[in-house]
Amino acid sequence: MADIVPFRGILYNTDKTGNIADVVTPPYDVISEEERDAYYNLNPYNIIRLILSKKNSGNPDAASAHSRAAACFNQWLADGVLVQDKAPAFYLSTTEFPLGGKTGTRYGLTARVRLEPFDKGIILPHEKTFSKVKSERLGLLKKCHANFSSIFSLYSDKRNLVLSAVKAAVAGKTPDMNFTDDKGHTHRQWRITDQALHAYIADAMQGKRLFIADGHHRYETSLNYREWVAANNPDFNAEHPANFIMMYLCSMEDPGLIILPAHRVLSGLVDTELAPFIGKCADYFDITATPYKHNGDEKAKQTFISALEANSATNIIGMFMQNRPELFLLTLKPQVMEDLFGGTLPAAISDLDVTVLTNLILGTILGFDQKRLDDEKIFSYTTDYSEAIDTVASGQADIVFVLNPTSIKQVKQIAETGLIMPRKSTYFFPKVVTGQVLNHLAHPVE
């Protein structure tokens, strides 16, 4: 099913750039404006200039920024700042990261993967996307003709055949890339050029489905880019590079695969929405409260989050709002989602905490329409519940909803049944680094 092939990746030449840690970034969609400025200042070859080129004050439209990114990319290729590998390879990487007082390690194999429409059931999404974002990313692709970031995708391999083979291939070998990023995560990468192993991996992956973890917008954008290339290139054929996309492939059985919750922080609500909110929730939830005496009451926060996590098997949502000195836990009453949404929402979707939040709390209780649900000025997201609570307590936001994470099992079930989760249902951690390897989508660079 999935067509996985090696490719001649484009990598940074550290003789020109210096420390590789100074030129890589997280994916573009988790970078704030302040972080973008910091990456710009860190190194003149930082990949931020390709993925989030600054708009020119004299010509502030996105197209001009994309043109500057393309000029920069082509200049770096010409100057040897970026160099394409001479032989096709798969790229095995490891990420070591601290979490909860322990150190985790996640493995990923970067490859070219043939693009497939979602309705073929070979590559599957699990979240909704924004049309505006896809349009902006398509403009960048049309100018640069390259994948600067990998799509983060998952596959199931209960016998661990693929990962065992690639780990054995690099055992005892010095990594081609080894650095620690600004978050304290250590990244290592090896080229795998053995053609026999290429064939083994391609064969082992052929019968698998791939589930997009991160990069839905970029994947859908690449489908649109392929159609654009096909329509404008008389030499287009099934093996043109635009038929493929660069993916970071991670096993669902990898113990280093972590999903964190994406807590919702809301601003711009009015008193007439906030004042009756708890009373309205009582119709649908059993409510418990932990007194929160002052901003920074860490003991109350810990009691609150411990109770939330301990009840993750049920539909439970944490909540804190302005002018209420309590941390609330909202436990869904039986049959509520079935009674309200049984005719419109499949059970697999309605059982998710994020669906309870989106459809019941935001849609029914607070009365948000689709326009408000899509309003990025209202919503911000964080994986740090304490930070979220502090944001509301300090008056910078009105209300926060604290969630337990979605499970890998739920992600797979949703995708396999052709369903789509609400946006920001998952936060895979750590993010895949942008800049370790790039993929050209035009004719191969020599």
What band does 1 get if pLDDT is binned at 50, 70 and 90? confident
Look at residue 57 and tell me whether its pLDDT is greater than 50. no
Same domain assignment for residues 60 and 144: yes
Same domain assignment for residues 166 and 90: yes
83 is a domain residue: yes
Residue type, 15: D
Q: How far is CA 144 from each of CA 71, 73, 148, rounded to the nearest angstrom?
A: 8, 7, 9
What band does 207 get if pLDDT is binned at 50, 70 and 90? confident
Lowest average pLDDT, out of 70-84, 114-128, 217-231, goes to: 114-128
Contact between 27 and 436 (Cβ < 8 Å): no
Burial class (CB in 10 A: 0-12, 13-18, 19+), 51: buried
- The pLDDT assigned to 422 comes to 82
Same domain assignment for residues 19 and 148: yes
Same domain assignment for residues 233 and 131: yes
417 is a domain residue: no
Say how many C-beta atoms besides its own lie within 10 A of residue 401's C-beta: 24
Q: 240-243 — which CB contacts under 8 Å span 24+ positions? A: 241/112, 241/439, 241/440, 241/441, 241/442, 241/443, 241/444, 242/441, 242/442, 243/114, 243/115
**Summary mean pLDDT of the chain:** 92
Same domain assignment for residues 331 and 382: yes
Look at residue 125 and tell me whether its pLDDT is greater than 80. yes
For the full predicted model, state whether its pTM sits above 0.85.
yes
Same domain assignment for residues 276 and 195: no
424 is a domain residue: no
Return the C-alpha torsion angle 311, 312, 317, 320, nearest 10.
Answer: 70
Same domain assignment for residues 252 and 288: no
What DSSP element (H or E) covers 73? helix 62-79
**Measured distance CA(152)–CA(29) in Å, rounded:** 13
327 is a domain residue: yes
Q: Which two tokens stand for residue 446?
A: 């020599």
Same domain assignment for residues 206 and 347: no
Contact between 303 and 339 (Cβ < 8 Å): no
Is the model more confident about 354 or about 1? 354
Contact between 403 and 263 (Cβ < 8 Å): yes
The distance of Cα 216 from the centroid of its chain, to the nearest Å, equals 8
Same domain assignment for residues 192 and 79: yes
Look at residue 59 and tell me whether its pLDDT is greater than 80. no
Burial class (CB in 10 A: 0-12, 13-18, 19+), 421: buried
- The pLDDT assigned to 55 comes to 66
Q: Closest by alpha carbon to 400, among 282, 317, 340, 331?
A: 317
Percent of the residues in the chain that have a pLDDT greater than 90, as a whole number: 81
DSSP string, 165-201: HHHHHHTTPPPSEEEE-TTS-EEEEEEE--HHHHHHH
Is the model more confident about 292 or about 64? 292
Same domain assignment for residues 353 and 229: no
Look at residue 442 and tell me whether its pLDDT is greater than 90. no
Q: pLDDT by residue (tens digit) across 143-176? A: 999 999 999 999 999 999 999 999 999 999 999 9
Count of structural domains within the chain? 2
- The pLDDT assigned to 126 comes to 81
Where in the sequence is the domain holding 388, given as residue range(s)?
A: 262-404
Look at residue 58 and tell me whether its pLDDT is greater than 50. no
Same domain assignment for residues 92 and 215: yes
Peptide bond into 261 cis (omega under 30): no
What band does 411 get if pLDDT is binned at 50, 70 and 90? confident
**Measured distance CA(352)–CA(410) in Å, rounded:** 8
Q: What is the mean pLDDT of residues 16-32?
A: 95
Q: Which residues contact 375 (CB under 8 A, 6 or more apart)?
A: 268
Contact between 207 and 158 (Cβ < 8 Å): no
Lowest average pLDDT, out of 142-151, 258-267, 305-314, 404-413, goes to: 404-413
Q: pLDDT by residue (tens digit) across 265-300? A: 999 999 999 999 999 999 999 999 999 987 778 999
Q: Which two tokens stand for residue 166?
A: 């690639």
CATH of the domain at 315: 3.30.1760
Q: Closest by alpha carbon to 246, among 163, 166, 149, 154?
A: 149
Q: 168-176 — which CB contacts under 8 Å span 24+ positions? A: 169/92, 169/194, 169/197, 170/92
**Measured distance CA(92)–CA(308) in Å, rounded:** 37
**Measured distance CA(57)–CA(60) in Å, rounded:** 5
The distance of Cα 123 from the centroid of its chain, to the nearest Å, equals 16
Q: Which residues contact 127 (CB under 8 A, 6 or more apart)?
A: 216, 420, 421, 422, 423, 424, 425, 426
Say how many C-beta atoms besides its own lie within 10 A of residue 5's C-beta: 16
446 is a domain residue: no
What band does 262 get if pLDDT is binned at 50, 70 and 90? very high
Same domain assignment for residues 254 and 266: no
DSSP string, 360-425: IIIIIIS---HHHHT-TTTEEEES-HHHHHHHHHTTS-SEEEE-PPPPHHHHHHHHHTT--BPTT-
What band does 29 get if pLDDT is binned at 50, 70 and 90? confident
What band does 323 get if pLDDT is binned at 50, 70 and 90? confident
Look at residue 445 and tell me whether its pLDDT is greater than 70. no
Burial class (CB in 10 A: 0-12, 13-18, 19+), 372: middle
